[in-house]
Structure 1
Amino acid sequence: MTASPVCLMVVASHDGRWLHETVQGLNALAARQEAVPGLRFLPAASADEALRLAGEEGDVQGVLVDESMPARGAIALVDALNQLRPELTLYVLLDNDDEKAMVDTLSADSVNGYFFREERDWASWLRIIHAELVDKSATPFFDRLRRYVAMAKDSWHTPGHCGGDSLRASPWVRDFFDFAGEDMLRADLSVSVPMLDSLLHPTGVIHQAQKLAAQAFGARRTFFATNGTSTANKVIVQTLLAPGDMLLLDRNCHKSVHHAVILSGARPVYLDSSVNRQYGIFGPVPKATLLAAMDAHPQAKALILTSCTYDGFRYDLAPIIEAAHARGIKVIVDEAWYGCARFHPALRPTALECGADYATQSTHKVLSAFSQASMIHVNDPDFNGHLFRENLNMHTSTSPQYGLIASLDVARKQAVMEGYKLLSRALRLAAELREQINATGVFRVLSLEEMLPEDVRDDGVRLDPTKLTVDISASGYSADELREVLFERFNIQVEKSTFNTLTLLVTLGATRSKVSRLYDAMLRLARERRPPAVRQRMPEIPRFTQLACLPRDAFYESGERLPLFDEHGQPNPALVGRVSCDQVTPYPPGIPVLVPGQVIDLSILNYLARLGASQKSIELHGVDESLGEPALRVLSADELVLLPGGRLDN
């Protein structure tokens, strides 16, 4: 049975008599109002008590602050509450208009409204609070979609299954109808339904949903993306950079960023990330490297970083962004793995709070949206909305999946209304799971100090506590074996692995039962006491060499294909000095060892050879095997000579 929502509102005042009467009066009215089920008011006789309630009670949705509070004062309390939980609805209780002017000046962005305390017009207060909660918890697109489905209109438009009608009576595919569910199939609609707005040019319910998302995530503008953060990254890069414009980027960025470089014609400056060689974990680019790159390339137009990384590393973004802005560089942060951070102080500050111009988030990764559902958040004061929209439309399908859009609307609502509560639970479960895994005596969750590469130890890097990296070295299992046994014997699927670690994600969907089952599985495996395994460590990815031309120019040439190995099975010396046309990416870890336009050297060839010999489960994306043997597509001598600009140097 689904629980009814609870909405707690804290009333903070040092006037005990007034506080008691006000809370009693508001609760009495709220109990009689059917329109506001679950609404209840809690007294707080001090600023500290108000902060305690907001921190401990995840169902607190707002606070009414008496302006005459002593000690910390109302303004200080409003600021503290906003720092703790920016999603809270905050009202200030005033004695006169002069006080309103003062509070309005100092906290205009933080305060939702004002009441005059001595009027004791509790019915009016209740109406306003209720209206604010309704607005805050609205899902304009999902509500309209559900309403349209309930209208049961005959479909004479796409998609061809007509709300599942082509599937329901089929003896061959009725099982898919049953599996997907009638409501989901009825909601699979098209742009032929005007009342559902247009993702390509939103003016109605999608526009409203995006405005609510911007408010929730602290952005000036928010855009929904139904092709994942891969598309979001491409859209931003193409908006900010014209062919030949310079971009500073972490070589460890998601492959979509590298694809964006090709599509935009930008000139990239690739920066090597830090590496923990003991565990095969790639960390942030050292701050000194970033600052040196900004100084060495004053013409750079943008910097793109990933924070947090797949393994949970978070840059100390504020000083990096400040340095970039001082040089006129726009900052893009791929926050795909950190879309939940806004809703808990243990995870903040977010990229936007640190001053980023753009942040992309995979809402589906750590919040409750469907796969492929992402958001683009914009705080760029120089935002070119027309150019951005043209690039977004270039990549967005003209037939977006409306279920994805609805899931973004719903995920935002959940994050605002109960994100703090659910994240508090997730953080507690992550801490418990860390202790339990460590207690097995065989498996061990790595600390930040153990994971952090040496050359970023003084950079203020933090670790997302909801991402657990487990050292399996003492278990006797290889990572592939352990993943398989967890799946086959214990029905557990983990996120990823290196040669000696597993990564576990603790999200809003984590439960104590899941934690117990995982701990039980790891305890049983630890007790088996297998002999230590002989491990083959992944070879180290060589440092970036240099670019001979723009990645776009190399990618769009025909090139020629040369075998990766010679007739003796050794790295083909004919490839040394040649220029790659493709992006070659071992997966995992997903870091390109070659990008289009990059000069190939012997260390790269040796790395690919060692990788193929020692890591059979690694996929090599970008290697051409169409002729029956692995080959690399490289520029011919004639093509290289004819390319504009000659050899580029990073």
Structure 2
Amino acid sequence: MPELGNLSEFSPPLECRVALVSDDGDFSDQWVGALNTTAAQHENPYGIRFEPLTVIASERRLCEEDRLQALIIDGGCSAEELVAAEQLVDRMHDLRAQLNVFLVAQDSFLNYRGGAPASLRKRFDELFDRRERNFNHMFRLIQAFIARRASTPFADTLKDYVFSARDAWHTPGHSGGDSLRNSPWVGSFYRFMGEHVFNADLSVSVQVLDSLLEPHSVIHEAQDLAAQAFGAQHTFFLTNGTSTANKVVIQQILGGGGKLIVDQACHKSVHHAILMNRVEPVYLKSTLHPKFGIYGPVRRVDIQQALDEHPDAGLLVITSCTYDGLRYDLKPIIDHAHRRGVKVLIDEAWYAHGYFHTELRPTALECGADYVTQSTHKTLSAFSQASMIHVQDPDFDEFRFRENLNMFASTSPQYAIIASLDVARKQMVMEGFGRLRHCLKMVEILRREVDATGVFRALTCEDLIPAPLANDNIRLDPTKVTIDVTASGYSGKEIQVKLFDQFGIQVEKSTYNTVTVLVTLGSTESKLLRLVHAIKQLARQPRQRKHPLSGRHLPEFTRLTCLPADAYFAETEELPLMDNGVAAEKKLVGRTCADEVVPYPPGIPVLVPGQEISAQIVQFLQQLLQGQLTTEIHGLIFRADEPMLRVVCEPQSDSLCARESK
């Protein structure tokens, strides 16, 4: 396998480059020389060094230099040069949004459009006059901006408190691990987990650590830094996952009822929010790729049609990217929703990394989404359950939002999770571009080596997009690599098991003829070497399968006979799903389901509360239960090993108002 070359040669962690972008060579040389001299004479913990850079070379440099942390843009001495500098910094922002940017100009400050405008302050962190000679002050100011971006206010406060070794006479009961440390029965657990897992597990009693429910100091500061890092107006931390984040946002917009337009393949947390808030859903049909059994995005025309047909809808919910890495072209969809007065929530659980590399943008926030939920832990360096909500709703009611958030959040959050959010954000703003560039190069190698086996194949965006989505400009997150295993003669599940049992490799997921691996910040050259070796070994052992595997199409959505909440909380009875097949079908067809029934894979509901049960749905579920492939079905009730469906009792079902599902 080809070597990765210098991919593993990461720059020292504390080496920052600051480029002065100017085509005035004399000015550039003078300032760079003076600033480097100043840096050498002062305390310089970040290893800041200045370098000259011409305008024409600046874009290429931004795409190649991982250590670049700030830009000084020469705005010249005229209004025309200042306009050009503004345009340049906009292009720089499109390439590396996280960098600090400073403007240096002269009289054009005062003459530009009647005085230095507010737009300059939005584009640049600070302004310098070209005639300035106090390089000590400039160096300290630039260093302060970099230090601010590199700070982790909550994580640092947590660490300082732990190291202060205070006696704990408060919750939690293990008291910094003292209850376990010397126990002959559970001391091994303490040693396995490590000292800091316990002494950093604190409570709201420690006021210096702020309150996640009502932040005003270090958590507030950490959230502000995250909002700046991800391009949001407001950011909120969560310690119980994006499942909670989705519920909070839906309650914010539709608490107490309303109409929601949503992909039927959305995360189950959205379905739960529909129940909890008595929401009327308008379900959009996902598009199936018949060859791989992968359900992709909803057609743009279907989304727009639903928005046009339901002018009373309050919220549109879309998942982008999907579990398989398919991303919508979001801007035209979001713009269409806003023209109809509909708020937009984008579930970006699998795409928290997108803002930090040019090839992965634009993100949902950049496309105008009002709310974005992200599972920071899925793709960044945060603990499980660490998530964020990003907000840029122009009608945002922060007080009400905090009340909604507090209804779902624990009053005893795990402080290590909060600290990990702080640290994950710092990593991405300081080295996210370089780390993701490394990931993308690993993806290239992995795809090439998989294809070279001649048995396995790394699927491209074109492979994964179903025909109905061909003109929707769907894109693929390259860090999610889906491998077609059909030619090996094994199912995706069988390959998944072989990788684990024979090679010690755990993949993200499998379908009947694919496996998916995630290339993340934690992927290493050694892991890549072992994965490629395993795939090549398995490719040498193909087998002939007598009957080719094929995916099952989900049955058509029928209709809602009532609000999902009405069905879920109604008086119900349990009816057998199997019961000699035909007999069960006669009893179930036409009844109203009271639960959400979801086969895994693909994780899309076959039934939702309030939905009318059809013969096709009954037969589909029976086939899954009798099939040879292992399929989890969530939502079934088992009584003495017999699968049962919970349905609304007939009299109550008859009295409920029927609604057609659009």
For the criterion TM > 0.5, the same-fold answer is yes
- Choose which of 88, 107, 129 in structure 2 pairs with 1:77: 88
1:81 corresponds to which letter in structure 2?
A: M
* Counterpart position of 1:57: 65
Spell out the pairing of 1:103-142 with structure 2 (5 A cutoff): 104-142=117-155
Spell out the pairing of 1:203-602 with structure 2 (5 A cutoff): 203-532=216-545, 534-567=547-580, 571-602=584-615
Distance change in 2, residues 1:616/1:301 (3 Å)? same
Question: 1:214, 1:221 within 8 Å by CA — same for their partners in 2?
Answer: yes
Encode CA deviations 1:304-348: one digit per residue, 9 max, x unaligned.
Answer: 000000001110100000000000000000000001111111001
Encode CA deviations 1:54-98: one digit per residue, 9 max, x unaligned.
Answer: 211011011001112969931221111111111110001112232
SS of aligned partner of 1:406:
helix
* Counterpart position of 1:18: 27
Encode CA deviations 1:255-301: one digit per residue, 9 max, x unaligned.
Answer: 11101100111000111111101101111100111111111111111
CA–CA separation in structure 2 for the residues paired with 1:352 and 1:434: 30
Encode CA deviations 1:545-578: one digit per residue, 9 max, x unaligned.
Answer: 1001111111112300000012357753210000
Question: 1:583, 1:622 within 8 Å by CA — same for their partners in 2?
Answer: yes
- Unaligned stretches of 5+ residues in structure 1: none
Question: 2:62, 2:68 within 8 Å by CA — same for their partners in 1?
Answer: yes
Greater shift, 346-355 or 538-547, is seen at 538-547
CA–CA separation in structure 2 for the residues paired with 1:533 and 1:386: 62
- Unaligned stretches of 5+ residues in structure 2: 1-9
Question: 1:67, 1:94 within 8 Å by CA — same for their partners in 2?
Answer: yes
* Counterpart position of 2:650: 637
CA–CA separation in structure 2 for the residues paired with 1:38 and 1:177: 39
State the shift of 1:34 in Å: 2.5
State the shift of 1:532 in Å: 4.2
Question: 2:11, 2:67 within 8 Å by CA — same for their partners in 1?
Answer: no
Question: 2:560, 2:658 within 8 Å by CA — same for their partners in 1?
Answer: no
Greater shift, 125-134 or 603-612, is seen at 603-612
SS of aligned partner of 2:304:
helix
Distance change in 2, residues 1:568/1:9 (3 Å)? closer
CA–CA separation in structure 1 for the residues paired with 2:363 and 2:173: 42
* Counterpart position of 1:9: 18
Encode CA deviations 1:206-257: one digit per residue, 9 max, x unaligned.
Answer: 1111111111111111100111000000111111003441000000101111
Question: 1:218, 1:352 within 8 Å by CA — same for their partners in 2?
Answer: yes
Question: 1:571, 1:606 within 8 Å by CA — same for their partners in 2?
Answer: no
Distance change in 2, residues 1:529/1:538 (3 Å)? closer
- Choose which of 618, 636, 639 in structure 2 pairs with 1:623: 636
Question: 2:86, 2:123 within 8 Å by CA — same for their partners in 1?
Answer: no
1:444 corresponds to which letter in structure 2?
A: R
* Counterpart position of 2:110: 98
CA–CA separation in structure 2 for the residues paired with 1:567 and 1:319: 50
State the shift of 1:411 in Å: 0.4
Distance change in 2, residues 1:473/1:266 (3 Å)? same
CA–CA separation in structure 2 for the residues paired with 1:420 and 1:299: 42
SS of aligned partner of 1:119:
coil
CA–CA separation in structure 2 for the residues paired with 1:529 and 1:590: 29
* Counterpart position of 1:66: 74
CA–CA separation in structure 2 for the residues paired with 1:49 and 1:555: 62
Question: 2:21, 2:55 within 8 Å by CA — same for their partners in 1?
Answer: yes
SS of aligned partner of 1:593:
coil
Distance change in 2, residues 1:4/1:106 (3 Å)? closer
Encode CA deviations 1:369-392: one digit per residue, 9 max, x unaligned.
Answer: 100000000111111222211111
* Counterpart position of 2:7: none
SS of aligned partner of 1:234:
helix
Tell me the TM-score normalised to structure 2 length.
0.95
Question: 2:96, 2:357 within 8 Å by CA — same for their partners in 1?
Answer: yes
SS of aligned partner of 1:346:
helix
State the shift of 1:118 in Å: 2.3
1:342 corresponds to which letter in structure 2?
A: Y
State the shift of 1:107 in Å: 3.9
Distance change in 2, residues 1:37/1:331 (3 Å)? closer
Are residues 1:33 and 2:42 paired?
Answer: yes
2:458 corresponds to which letter in structure 1?
A: V
State the shift of 1:23 in Å: 1.3
CA–CA separation in structure 1 for the residues paired with 2:210 and 2:428: 24
2:24 corresponds to which letter in structure 1?
A: D
State the shift of 1:189 in Å: 0.6
Percent same amino acid at aligned positions? Answer: 50
SS of aligned partner of 2:131:
helix
State the shift of 1:419 in Å: 0.5
SS of aligned partner of 1:129:
helix
Question: 1:499, 1:538 within 8 Å by CA — same for their partners in 2?
Answer: yes
Question: 2:558, 2:661 within 8 Å by CA — same for their partners in 1?
Answer: no
Question: 1:159, 1:189 within 8 Å by CA — same for their partners in 2?
Answer: yes
SS of aligned partner of 1:118:
coil
State the shift of 1:623 in Å: 0.3
CA–CA separation in structure 2 for the residues paired with 1:570 and 1:137: 66
Question: 2:231, 2:365 within 8 Å by CA — same for their partners in 1?
Answer: yes
CA–CA separation in structure 2 for the residues paired with 1:28 and 1:4: 22
Greater shift, 10-19 or 222-231, is seen at 10-19
Distance change in 2, residues 1:154/1:626 (3 Å)? farther
CA–CA separation in structure 2 for the residues paired with 1:524 and 1:570: 49
* Counterpart position of 2:175: 162
2:19 corresponds to which letter in structure 1?
A: V
State the shift of 1:21 in Å: 2.3
Question: 2:380, 2:520 within 8 Å by CA — same for their partners in 1?
Answer: yes
* Counterpart position of 1:175: 188
Question: 2:443, 2:479 within 8 Å by CA — same for their partners in 1?
Answer: yes
Distance change in 2, residues 1:236/1:334 (3 Å)? same
1:62 corresponds to which letter in structure 2?
A: A
Distance change in 2, residues 1:442/1:189 (3 Å)? same
State the shift of 1:181 in Å: 1.1
CA–CA separation in structure 2 for the residues paired with 1:649 and 1:291: 16
2:73 corresponds to which letter in structure 1?
A: V
State the shift of 1:349 in Å: 0.5
SS of aligned partner of 1:212:
helix
Question: 2:491, 2:549 within 8 Å by CA — same for their partners in 1?
Answer: no
Encode CA deviations 1:392-437: one digit per residue, 9 max, x unaligned.
Answer: 1111111110000000000011111111110111111111111111
Greater shift, 111-120 or 199-208, is seen at 111-120
Are residues 1:47 and 2:55 paired?
Answer: yes
Aligned residues: 648
Question: 1:478, 1:533 within 8 Å by CA — same for their partners in 2?
Answer: no
Tell me the TM-score normalised to structure 1 length.
0.97
